[in-house]
């Protein structure tokens, strides 16, 4: 589930100063060579600084990959440093007292946070969604049915997913607003395989009945006051597989200390807004 970046083969120093050190076997006092860090072509004075490579398309491509990798690495390092800052440590100490363990035995993670108002679903949004749904369901039933049930990925219901997303309150679900809960015809073919009892009419009626009276303003029609109102088996694969960058890193941290109690700090631009906890029993609760 984690998104691994491909480590670049070029030394980091080479990219920043546009130089490569003397080749192995060169005289000890050999001067630094101003070469493209990717293909060893000699660089002009300006190329050393900009673009930092020989300007061949292949080297440009590798340069972009390297810059992306370094940016990602920087974000990752910042995330893990934030998880060790004063506030997460304080939360870890509080949970350690409850769990009867040392604070160092608690893993702290950070997730996003949303707290937008829950309002009655506007009629025009409801109508637009139902019009989309009717079309998508008809299209789904015209497609070849999937043979056998399509399993919901286990990560979707992993305790850390539940704990992280519950503390966050569904920051990512606003993406489902303009995308009709990601319920495309292709998704509905899979969902149909999980609910073979329903024909097209029944499936439309099911989703219509599932619409909450009130939902998070401007977010997905199914994001109710307590999060998504749909059970996992009738959510799209996007909803069942998406993990934000923070949650991916949270899985990495918890994976390093499996079985450890976890504190989950939900953070907006204003700071920490909510703190969740998951003890040894793997049950999520707010602290």
Distance CA 202, CA 135 (A): 14
Nearest distance from C-beta of residue 172 to Zn ion, angstroms: 39
165 binds, among ligand SF4, Zn ion, none (CB under 5 to 8 A by kind): ligand SF4
Among 30, 39, 226, 280, interactor with Zn ion by CB under 5 A: 39
* Residue closer to ligand SF4 (CB basis): 19 or 282: 282
Distance CA 127, CA 35 (A): 62
Q: Decide if residue 30 touches Zn ion (CB under 5 A).
A: no
Contacting positions for ligand SF4 (CB under 6 A): 111-112, 164-165, 168, 170-173, 176, 181, 220, 222-223, 228, 230, 235, 239, 242-244, 246-247
- Reduce the DSSP state of residue 278 to 3 states and report it: strand
Distance CA 168, CA 172 (A): 9
* Residue closer to ligand SF4 (CB basis): 38 or 284: 284
Nearest distance from C-beta of residue 43 to ligand SF4, angstroms: 43
Q: Which residues contact 261 (CB under 8 A, 6 or more apart)?
A: 95, 96, 99, 101, 105, 106, 107, 277, 278, 279, 280
* Residue closer to ligand SF4 (CB basis): 37 or 176: 176
Nearest distance from C-beta of residue 235 to ligand SF4, angstroms: 5
- Reduce the DSSP state of residue 228 to 3 states and report it: strand
Q: Which residues contact 21 (CB under 8 A, 6 or more apart)?
A: 14, 32, 33
* Residue closer to Zn ion (CB basis): 55 or 94: 55
* Distance, C-alpha 69 to centroid of its chain: 17
Nearest distance from C-beta of residue 99 to ligand SF4, angstroms: 23
């Amino acid at each position: 589930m984690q998104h691994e970046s491909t480590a670049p083969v070029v030394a980091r120093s080479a990219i920043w100063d546009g130089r490569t050190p003397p080749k192995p076997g060169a005289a000890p006092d050999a001067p630094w060579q101003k070469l493209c860090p990717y293909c060893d072509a000699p660089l002009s004075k300006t190329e050393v600084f900009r673009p930092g490579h020989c300007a061949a398309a292949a080297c440009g491509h590798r340069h972009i990959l390297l810059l992306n990798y370094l940016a990602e690495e920087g974000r990752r390092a910042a995330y893990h440093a934030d998880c060790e800052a004063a506030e997460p440590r304080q939360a870890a100490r509080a949970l350690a007292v409850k769990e009867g363990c040392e604070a160092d035995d608690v893993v702290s993670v950070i997730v996003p946070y949303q707290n937008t108002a829950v309002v009655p679903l506007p009629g025009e949004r409801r109508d637009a969604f139902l019009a989309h749904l009717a079309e998508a369901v008809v299209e789904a039933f015209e497609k070849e049915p999937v043979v056998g049930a399509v399993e919901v990925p286990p990560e979707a219901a992993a305790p850390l997913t539940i704990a992280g997303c519950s503390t966050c309150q569904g920051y990512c679900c606003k993406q489902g607003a303009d995308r009709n809960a990601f319920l495309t015809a292709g998704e509905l073919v899979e969902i149909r395989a999980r609910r073979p009892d329903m024909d097209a009419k029944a499936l439309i009626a099911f989703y219509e009945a599932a619409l909450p009276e009130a939902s998070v303003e401007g977010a997905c029609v199914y994001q109710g006051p307590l999060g998504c109102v749909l059970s996992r088996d009738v959510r799209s694969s996007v909803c069942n597989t998406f993990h934000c960058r923070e949650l991916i890193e949270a899985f990495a941290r918890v994976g390093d200390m499996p079985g450890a109690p976890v504190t989950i700090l939900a953070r907006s631009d204003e700071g920490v807004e909510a703190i969740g906890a998951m003890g040894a029993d793997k049950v999520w609760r707010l602290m």
